[in-house]
Chain A
Amino acid sequence: MGKLIVHQDKVTDINAMISICPFNALEEKDGKLEVNAGCKLCQLCVKKGQPGAMEYVEEEVKTVDKSLWNGITVYVDHVNGEIHPVTFELLGKAGELAKKINHPVYAIFIGSDIEKKAEELLHYGVDKVFVVDAPELKDFQMESYTAAFEAFVNEIKPSAILVGATPVGRQLAPRVASRFNTGLTADCTILDIHENTDLVQIRPAFGGNIMAEILTPNSRPQLATVRYKIMDAPERSAEAKGEIVKISVPAEKFKTRTQVLGITHKEKEKSIENADILVVAGRGLKKKEDLELVKELADALGGDIACTRPLAEAGWLNAKHQIGLSGRTVRPKLIITCGVSGAIQFVAGMNNSENIFAINTDPNASIFKVANYAIIGDIYDVIPKLIEQVKQGKGVKA
């Protein structure tokens, strides 16, 4: 904690100083360099500015006795007791972190009629599963869930709490963090822990162009949210270990100023724009019937089928499936193009996809310029074998 002091006599070039600040927080006023409200105290001006021009002065620090806060906790994200898989991924991470500082791994499970479901968690390396089970907690409401969470934190005093960045986690975690006047870091992609139990939280900032390493050095508990599929889920162990502990909270704590009128299950609107996985058919396909092959691969992967403009124009697929400037722009996590040459108009509609696999017989196909994985091969040979692989993989898993 501290503040910045400007030593005007050491400022040799005001404009050079102003240009250092990434937040436009330095400005010139009456020939003097001043810090405005935009300052984030990143101290770049101290480090990169003219020597001695800026000084960072430490101020008193509020402290917390970290030894009183023990355990790495995972919030069990669920709907009606169906546990969201991000929970298991976080339990895996919590286990790694806890081991480093010799802390226990906890889970906090809030809901109604969930005690039976809590048993499943015991297969994922958790020492204690704390359960707040009450009929008032059947549906998620921020106030009642926060009250349950508050009771848990007050009773157990966990050092760190990991929450899945699901629609529920992303609103519950801030409310809880604010209640305890503590820090919360959103969408961490890397987590580590210092010996003094400070959680090292690394997250992308500025749209992923920069990574920031963040600590919560003087408050407990430390909260962080992590998105689904960022951490690795541990293997489910056959043996159940650990215990389930009930926390009882007086019912009046669950009073809310919201009322759930009902819940409807979402009909998944399928469109290639919001698909995570796309398999794209191009002119490498010889006839319309061969679309079935591409479709089969898409199905096996749990994705959707898309196509290039010539196929849409030939009426092989509906225009809603067409990618490109005259079609849709897509940004899936995985895209596999099959026999697509990669015209600029097509590429413009898909080059922001996260992982691009392109299969083409022509080693000079322009699609290979944007592909992460340029696969030189015949779709008629590769796709059936790939389908086989995917199906086999799934078979083993189940």
Chain B
Amino acid sequence: MEILVCIKQVPGSNKVEVDPVTGVLKRNGADSKMNPYDLYALECGLKLREQYGGRVSVITMGPPQAQAIIKEAYAMGADAGAIVSDRAFGGADVLATAHTLAQGIKKFGKFDIILCGLQTTDGDTAQVGPEVSEQLDIPCVCNVKEIKGVEGDNILVDMEMAQDIEHLKVSFPCLITVQKDIVQPRLPSYLKKKDTENREIVMYTLKDMEDQNKNNYGLNGSATQVQRIFPPTSDKVQVTWDDPADVLAEKIYSTIKSRKLLG
């Protein structure tokens, strides 16, 4: 079974602030890490391999430094890795990112199951997975809370909905996004890290892609445009009420009602 896990490098912390005077993003350090949600997807891939055999590959899109998370995936047990990286891919929104990743995946190989984390901690959209599935024209199930197993060329999964759980049988090839806590991700192993120190990381740039039209990548291929960024207006309230009990009760109730906090 060929399993592919999509991973992303994200900032180590999302504590960024905008300088209200200059409008410049203030960064707290430049450290980065693998998107925590992707660890669950990778662990699911490794577990499937343990149970049913096959290979686990990882793919990421980002600047060359993002190879660090492929090495991390190797230390957790991934067999092969590829990075999709080109200046032409910069400034990509969800649409262009999904297109680029899908192009990279096509180049990288044929996969039975593509696993993604639910979302990233920097973009928070949870949209790239399903958009990749559309670009590859394969079935997709998001919010998977349990992988029941593989049956022939199908995977059995439980999808979490608001009030229900939908049990689905999905035929290969397919894309699954898994929820946080679906499994407990393993820690990277020092021995594996040593073993895989020199393992190849495939690099794909625009010239490797089937679609050579550069207007479909990066900012040019993006349908959305960020017009501006600004600091959120803080709605933190701090008030003190010292009134008779019935007035207090009335104030509390009308506040929680107007702030839509009632269950």
Contacts and interface: CB of A to CB of B under 8 A. Distances in A.
Given A205-B124, A215-B227, A261 B167 contact: yes
Interface string B119-159: 00111111111110111001111110000000000001001
Contacts of A3: 219
Given A178-B95, A210-B231, A39 B90 contact: yes
Interface string B90-121: 11111100100000000000000000000001
Interface residues of A, number: 104
A363 B139 CA distance: 59
B135 to A, nearest CB: 6
A375 to B, nearest CB: 5
Chain B: interface size category: 35 or more
B219 A41 contact: yes
Interface string A178-199: 1101111111000000000000
Contacts of B226: 40, 42, 212-214
Contacts of A171: 126, 130, 140-143, 177
B164 A265 contact: yes
Contacts of B243: 377
A175 B135 CA distance: 9
Nearest to A335: B261
Contacts of A1: 215, 219-220
A81 interface: no
A296 to B, nearest CB: 14
B169 A259 contact: yes
Which among B85, B140, B143, B250 has the greatest number of chain A C-beta atoms within 10 A?
Answer: B140
A179 B134 contact: yes
Contacts of B143: 167, 170-171
A231 to B, nearest CB: 10
Contact of B125 (A38, A187, A390, A393): A187
B15 interface: yes
B94 to A, nearest CB: 6
Given A37-B86, A41-B90, A182-B223, A260 B239 contact: no
B50 interface: no
B124 A382 contact: no
A40 B90 CA distance: 5
A343 interface: no
B81 to A, nearest CB: 17
A376 interface: yes
Contacts of B261: 277, 333-334, 355
Nearest to A264: B165
A38 B62 CA distance: 6
A366 interface: no
A182 B225 CA distance: 12
Contacts of B256: 301, 334, 355, 357
A1 B133 CA distance: 26
Contacts of A47: 23
B224 A79 contact: no
Contacts of A41: 90-91, 218-219
Say what secondary structure dominates the interface of chain A.
Answer: mixed
Given A187-B124, A213-B226, A277-B261, A257 B174 contact: yes
A178 B24 contact: no
B202 interface: no
A218 interface: yes
A29 to B, nearest CB: 12
Contacts of B22: 48
Contacts of B128: 174
B141 A142 contact: yes
Contacts of A386: 248-249, 252-253
B24 A44 contact: yes
Interface string A22-47: 10110000000001111111101001
A381 interface: yes
Interface in A220-248: 229
A2 interface: yes
A112 interface: no
Which among A173, A215, A389 has the greatest number of chain B C-beta atoms within 10 A?
Answer: A389
A2 B162 CA distance: 41
Contact of A211 (B89, B139, B177, B231): B231
Contacts of A357: 252, 255-256
Contacts of B129: 174
Contacts of B232: 204, 208-211
B237 interface: yes
Contacts of B52: none
Interface in B17-49: 17-18, 22-25, 27, 30
A62 interface: yes
B91 A140 contact: no
A301 B261 CA distance: 9
B190 interface: no
B64 interface: yes
Contact of A62 (B15, B135, B156, B215): B215
Nearest to A27: B63
A140 B263 contact: no
A206 B90 contact: no
B240 A368 contact: yes
29 contacts: A22-B16, A24-B65, A25-B90, A36-B64, A38-B62, A41-B91, A44-B25, A47-B23, A166-B161, A170-B126, A174-B129, A181-B95, A205-B123, A205-B229, A206-B16, A210-B17, A216-B224, A257-B170, A257-B174, A258-B139, A260-B167, A262-B167, A264-B165, A302-B262, A303-B263, A355-B256, A371-B238, A375-B248, A377-B245
Given A142-B139, A170-B126, 5 more contacts: A40-B226, A142-B142, A213-B226, A372-B239, A386-B253
Interface of B: 11, 14-18, 22-25, 27, 30, 62-65, 85-87, 89-95, 98, 121-131, 133-135, 138-143, 156, 159-171, 174, 177, 215, 218-220, 222-232, 236-243, 245-246, 248-253, 255-257, 259-263
